[in-house]
Chains A and B, each alone.
Chain A
Amino acid sequence: MLVEIIDVIISGMINGSVYALMAVGLTLIYGVSKAFNFAYGSFYSMGGYVAFMIFGAHINNYILVFCLAAPILFLLGYLIEKALVAPLRKRDDWEIKVMMITLGLALFLDNSYQVIFGARMKSLPTILEGSIELGDFILSYQDIIIFIFSIGGILAFRWFLNNTRTGMSVRAVAQNPAGAQIVGIPKEFVFSATFAISTVMVGMGGILLAQKYFVTPMGGWDILVKSWVITAFGGMGSIKGSLYAAFIVGMLEAFVGWHFGMNWTLIALFAVLLTTLAIRPQGLMGKWG
């Protein structure tokens, strides 16, 4: 029993770390632009398919795959933002229009994946075979590496926000777009860069989880829902809130899945979200709007 519980906790921590990486990206976009990106789940699948193509080119080193995938995802995110989202910002009520166009983009991307890669699921090679045995516990190298990469990604993102010029401009625009422009910060570039960075973050999550859960054309919707639950639960726009919420969601999912079965996990997540929002509408860390 104890061994099972510890296994569940470890599983919750590992999933929570990847969810944190992905939810922070969604929170970042919302925090900066106050617009919700419905194509976020499709960018998760995009990460998996980009990695699938890189492996298809006989590049089998995961470090190289990450190094190649990151700039590709950044460029795709940047170009999509410039082509589809940026023109809308000149119009009234552009936040609603962004939601509509990203919903359309999600459907376009998912159907394109289906046509290009087929409906069948694709798998990526395991990052490292083998496991560590600690008494009764068995921990796979794959899970350890997923955890380390996710936490490393979040720490790198935190460092970027606090220590780089672009990171400083992202924080300034998130807190006060008008004030930021007036002191010389190019708001449009910050919007585009934020969109691109979040595409990299969720795409990396897609590559990490594709080893365990495969890549499918419609697989991103589940991630979009979970990322949204985490973002709303943590407090829309609060990065710290998203981090806490991601680990709570990872843990809750693991325990509910273990005790009641995986079919109950989403129901449990929504029950917790609804209860939290009913009591505290601004989410855990108190940001909303």
Chain B
Amino acid sequence: MLEVKNATKKFGELTAVNDLSFEVSQGQVFGIAGPNGAGKSTLYNLITGLYPFEGSILFNKKEIRGFAPHAIAKMGISRTFQIPQTFPSLTVEKSIGVGNHFGSQEGYDPSYVDNILEFVSLEDKRDELTGQLNLLDKKMLMIGAALATKPQILMLDEPMAGSNAKEILALMDLIKRINKDMGITIIIIEHFMKVLTELTQKLLIIETGTEICCGDPVEVTNDPRVIECYLGDVNDKN
């Protein structure tokens, strides 16, 4: 469904993403992990058209390199950010409506917006301003706005960051439902290994923009190279 081929991104002397290649299949939950500064978010920015780069990215066999971010969103690739990006003076309902208005190829559908509000458990807060929401609700809203674009792939950037154990469970449940109930392919960047091993079917580990290994999450997390470069010590991996 998504094929990244020899993607390279340099910022001056710094190579943030180095000749990276991988494939994500339809319906899969694909994990990406690596130490801070490994190039994970930069990789998202390449896929979603925010940065120009060398190499190629195919979505449903079609080259998407060079397309603007809004065009890629319309094609069916949506994403969230590590820090929730909301529209502070819009209500929850309008914020999700914006995603449906502009991102969905079928145009605005109020009943679909209602469904999304219910799906992300924000139907009771539909008239609240997004700037007043707590962190978990802001994350739910950001995911809701991304879902409102009716994506085929949803890319989540560290959705668990800053969340407590209860919130992590709520977010994991939501991600599973998005994948199973809505049939949306998911790519997730995350630091919590337990989350990745439980949610994903395939895991890519990168360091300084270069692939360390890619494959079954349990095997990957036991790979000595990963333990050395990312997990530090075998006993710390959980």
Contacts and interface: CB of A to CB of B under 8 A. Distances in A.
Interface string A169-182: 10110011011111
B146 A175 contact: no
A184 interface: yes
A179 B148 contact: no
Nearest to A185: B102
13 contacts: A169-B98, A169-B102, A175-B89, A175-B90, A176-B87, A178-B81, A181-B69, A182-B69, A182-B78, A183-B103, A184-B70, A184-B103, A186-B68
Interface in B130-179: 142, 145-146, 148-149
Contacts of B86: 176, 179
Interface in A156-205: 165, 168-169, 171-172, 175-176, 178-188
Contact of B81 (A169, A171, A179, A187): A179
B74 interface: yes
B110 to A, nearest CB: 14
Interface residues of A, number: 18
Interface residues of B, number: 30
A218 B102 CA distance: 42
Contacts of B101: 165, 168
Interface in B61-95: 68-71, 73-74, 78-79, 81, 85-90, 94
Contacts of A172: 87, 90, 98
Contact of A178 (B78, B85, B90, B146): B85
B99 interface: yes
Nearest to B80: A182
B48 interface: yes
B87 A185 contact: no
Give the top 9 A-B pairs by smallest Cβ distance, nearest first. A184-B103, A179-B85, A184-B102, A181-B69, A183-B99, A184-B73, A175-B87, A186-B70, A183-B103
Interface of A: 165, 168-169, 171-172, 175-176, 178-188
Nearest to A181: B69
Given A168-B101, A178-B85, A185 B70 contact: yes
A171 B87 CA distance: 8
Which of the listed residues B48, B79, B85, B90 has the most CB atoms from chain A within 10 Å of its own CB?
B85
Given A184-B74, A186-B68, A168 B89 contact: no
Nearest to B45: A178
Contacts of A181: 50, 68-70, 73
A179 B104 CA distance: 15
B12 to A, nearest CB: 11
Given A182-B146, A188-B68, A171 B89 contact: yes
B68 A183 contact: no
A162 to B, nearest CB: 10
A237 to B, nearest CB: 11
Contacts of B146: 182-183
A176 B85 contact: yes
B175 to A, nearest CB: 18
Given A165-B101, A182-B73, A183-B99, 19 more contacts: A165-B102, A168-B98, A175-B87, A178-B50, A178-B85, A179-B81, A179-B87, A179-B142, A181-B70, A183-B73, A183-B78, A183-B102, A183-B103, A183-B145, A183-B149, A184-B70, A184-B149, A187-B69, A188-B68
Contacts of A186: 68, 70-71
Contact of A182 (B85, B88, B89, B97): B85
A281 B88 CA distance: 22
Contacts of A184: 70, 73-74, 99, 102-104, 149
Nearest to B75: A184
A158 B85 CA distance: 24
A276 B103 CA distance: 42
Contacts of B70: 181, 184-187
Interface in B202-230: none
A179 B89 CA distance: 14
Nearest to A177: B85
Contacts of B145: 179, 183
A188 B71 CA distance: 12
A171 B90 contact: yes
B50 A183 contact: no
A156 B148 CA distance: 29
B98 A175 contact: no
A14 to B, nearest CB: 30
Contacts of B149: 183-184
A186 B85 CA distance: 17
Contacts of A168: 94, 97-98, 101
A187 B103 CA distance: 13
